[in-house]
Amino acid sequence: MEDNQLRLFMESGIYKLNSNALFIDPVRILNRSYTRVRVSPATYYSRFFDSSNSTQSPKAIEDSRKRKRKQKKKPQSLNEREQIADQRHQEVKPFLLKAHEALLEATDLLKDLRNLRNDGCAAGGCKELSQESSELSFLELGSVWQAPLYEIVLNCHQDDKTSQDGGSTLVRSIEQRVTPAFNNLIANEESCDIEAELFNHKYIIPKRSCFYMSDLRQIDNLIPADSDCGFNLIVLDPPWENGSAHQKLRYPTLPNRYFLSLPVKQLCHTSGALVALWVTNREKLRGFVQNQLFPKWGVKYAASFYWLKVKANGMMTGELDLFHHRPYECLLLGYCDGKDTHSGNLTKLNPIPDNQVFISVPGDYSRKPPIGELLLDYLPGSRPARCIELFAREMITGWTSWGNEPLHFQDLRYFVSKTTEK
C-alpha cells in the first residue's frame, strides 16, 4: 500500500497519510503547469535543508526535543487575547500531532524527502536558465507615473511542419506580442508555457493562465460583467499588518482595514464561490476576520485547514508550543453566495472536513504551497472551475493571478531546463 502511495506521490506531489492529513510537494504540483521548463527544487527549497542532525532518526530528534521542553521554565501569564489564542492552539494541537506522527511512520516517504532539493537535478541533470544577480522590484515599477507605459514582451513558440523532398520538417518560430505590463489582463492561452521579457528580465508564464498586475485601487477591473464568468474559488494571502520591523523589510504590509474594500462578493461565480483565506496565528487578526472581514465580504465560515511545516528530515520547523513562532499556519474556508445559490446549490456540496492538516517543507519566506487541488471537491458550480488568487506572487495553470507582483516567482531564476534533465 505504501509503495503504491509513493508511486502516486511521485506523479501528483500529494501523499495521503490518513483521513485527516496529507503531505504535499509543491514543486511536483507546480510542475504540472509547465511543459518546456520545470520549477527548480534547489531554488524552491532554499531553507530547512541543513545537514545537522542528519544522522539521527526522527524519533531520536523528537525525544531530544521533549527533554528540552521539560527543562524549560513555565511561560509567563497570558493576557485575555493570548489565552483565547492558546485555547485555539490546544484544540488543534491533537490534529497536528496525529498528522505529524503519521508522517514519521511513512518511512518510504521520509526517505524521499531528503532528496526533494535535488530531485531530478542531481549530477548535472538540470541546467540553470538564468544568471541574473538581481530581481526587478515590481512594487517600485508599478508606483511611478510611467507605469502605464511599461510594456512586456510575450514570446509564443510556434511549431510548423513544412514539406520538403517528400518529407516533413519541423520548423520552430517565435511570435512576439507586446502589451502593457501593468493594469492589464495578460493571458497565455497556449497549451504550453511561454517566456516573457520585461526590462531585460525573463519570466515564465504557465500554460492557460493569466495575470493582472496592479495595486489595490485597480482590482475592480477584474469584476466580470457577467457573474457566469465569475470565480468558483478565491484564494487570498493578504500582506496583513505586522508590527515587526524585520517582516516589514521582507515585504510591505497594509492596514487590515484596507482589505474590507476587496470586491470578493462581486468576483464570485453566479453559483457561488469557496473563499480560502490565509491568516496568521494572531488572535487579533482572527477576531477581525470573524467579526468584520467575512461579514463585509458576505462569506460564511465553513472550516479551517492547517499547514504544518517540516524540515527535510520530517521534523517540525520549530517547537509546536512556542507561543509566537508556531510551525503552522491556518487557512480559513468559507462560502460566498452567488445569484442562484437560493436554489440550494451550496447545500448539495461535499461537506468540508474541519481541522484537515497538510504538511510540506516550506519554500521561500512567505511563499505558500499551492493548495487549490486540495479544495476542488468542495467548489460550487460546474467544472472546470474558475480560480483566482489575490495578492499572488506566482502563477498556476488555469488560474488568474492578481497582485502587485504576481510575476515574482515566475522569474527565470526559479526554473531549470526540462530538456536537459535525465
pLDDT (tens digit per residue) in 228-277: 889 999 999 999 987 654 555 566 788 999 999 999 999 999 999 999 99
**d(C-alpha 18, C-alpha 371), whole Å:** 18
Distances in Å between the alpha carbon of 67 and those of 72, 320, 379? 9, 14, 45
The Cα 381–Cα 9 span in angstroms is 28
From first to last of its 422 residues, the chain has per-residue pLDDT tens of 567 888 889 889 999 999 999 999 999 999 999 999 999 999 999 887 764 444 455 555 555 555 555 545 445 687 888 888 888 999 999 999 999 999 999 999 998 888 888 776 654 556 666 655 678 899 899 989 999 999 999 998 766 555 556 566 555 667 889 999 999 999 999 999 999 999 999 999 999 999 999 999 999 999 988 878 899 999 999 999 876 545 555 667 889 999 999 999 999 999 999 999 999 988 899 999 999 999 999 999 999 999 999 999 999 999 998 877 899 999 999 999 987 765 455 557 788 999 999 999 999 888 999 999 999 999 998 888 999 999 999 999 999 999 999 999 999 999 998 764 44
Parent domain of 390:
207-408
Asked whether residue 216 is domain-assigned, the answer is yes
CA–CA distance, 292 with 284 (Å, rounded to integer): 12
Over the Cα atoms of the chain, what is R_g? Answer: 23
Query: What are residue 143's phi and psi, to 5 degrees?
Result: -95, -10
What pLDDT is recorded for position 225?
A: 85
Query: What's the pLDDT score for residue 272?
Result: 93
Residues 6+ apart with CB under 8 A from 88: 283, 286
* pLDDT score, position 54: 45
Q: Which three cell numbers stand for residue 170?
A: 519541423
Residue 245 lies in a domain: yes
Query: Which residues, 6 or more positions from 250, have their beta carbon under 8 angstroms from its beta carbon?
Result: 365, 366
Q: Give Cα separations from 361 to 46, 114, 254, 262 (angstroms).
A: 10, 10, 27, 31
| pTM as predicted | 0.88
**Sheet strands (E) in 11-63:** 14-18, 21-24, 37-39
Q: Is 372 within the bounds of a domain?
A: yes
User: Which pLDDT score is estimated for 53?
Assistant: 45
Residue 227 falls within a domain, yes or no? yes
The verdict on residue 11 lying in a domain is no
Specify the amino acid at residue 192.
C
Residue 149 lies in a domain: no
* 253: number of Cβ within 10 Å: 16
Please write the tens of the pLDDT for every residue from 1-55. Answer: 567 888 889 889 999 999 999 999 999 999 999 999 999 999 999 887 764 444 4
Rounded CA separation 157/332 (Å): 40
Ramachandran bin of 208, using left for φ above 0, alpha for ψ from -120 to 50, beta for the remaining angles: left
Specify if 228 maps to a domain.
yes
Q: Indicate the number of domains in the chain.
A: 1
Question: Coil, helix or strand for 422?
Answer: coil
Specify the CATH number for the domain of residue 290: 3.40.50
**pLDDT attached to residue 169:** 57
pLDDT at 16: 94
In a domain, 158, yes or no: no
Element (H, E) at 322: none
